[in-house]
């Protein structure tokens, strides 16, 4: 049913990342699909905030994320079919949707915390992805 799965991980939550990757790997194996792993580094919401960081800060953060993602993926044994990591930079939900489109994915798997009142008013990234993605979306609660 699915041929190319995108799983979105937050590198700051290693315990959730491992559990989410296990679910994604099982789904990929079940459907004989390739597995793409994405992490998104958010941009500063206001340009003035960025002015307080060193000039090469974004470059360093992106390189650190690439290295951390590579380490996580190198530990997957056996590696799932077509396993490939990607690092995006921007608004989280927009980058997830754009990456899924660009990589021709037909399923997006991502985690979401249990919703609180604030989430109903503002809408978390998972809800935005589910509303706007053209792909099927599997949200894993933690």
Mean pLDDT, contiguous 10-residue spans, the chain (142 residues):
96 89 96 96 67 76 95 91 94 96 98 68 78 96 82
Q: What pLDDT does residue 71 have?
A: 95
Orientation of helix 92-102 relative to helix 125-132, angle to 10°: 40
Task: Residue 110: name the closest of 73, 79, 141, 66 by CA.
Answer: 141
Domain at 4-141: CATH architecture: 3-Layer(aba) Sandwich (3.40)
Q: For residue 121, what pLDDT is reported?
A: 47
DSSP 52: T
Predicted TM-score (pTM) of this structure: 0.88
């Amino acid at each position: 049913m699915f041929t190319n799965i995108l799983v979105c991980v937050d590198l700051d939550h290693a315990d959730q990342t491992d559990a989410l990757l296990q679910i994604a790997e099982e789904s990929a194996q079940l459907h004989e699909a390739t597995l793409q792993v994405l992490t998104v580094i958010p941009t500063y919401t206001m340009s003035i905030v960025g002015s307080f960081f060193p000039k090469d800060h974004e470059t360093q953060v992106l390189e650190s994320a690439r290295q951390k993602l590579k380490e996580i993926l190198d530990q997957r044994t056996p590696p799932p079919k077509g396993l490939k990591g990607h690092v995006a930079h921007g608004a989280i939900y927009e980058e997830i949707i754009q990456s899924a489109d660009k990589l021709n994915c037909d399923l997006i798997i991502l985690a979401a915390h249990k919703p609180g009142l604030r989430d109903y008013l503002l809408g978390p990234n998972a809800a935005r992805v589910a509303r706007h993605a053209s792909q099927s979306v599997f949200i894993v609660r933690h």
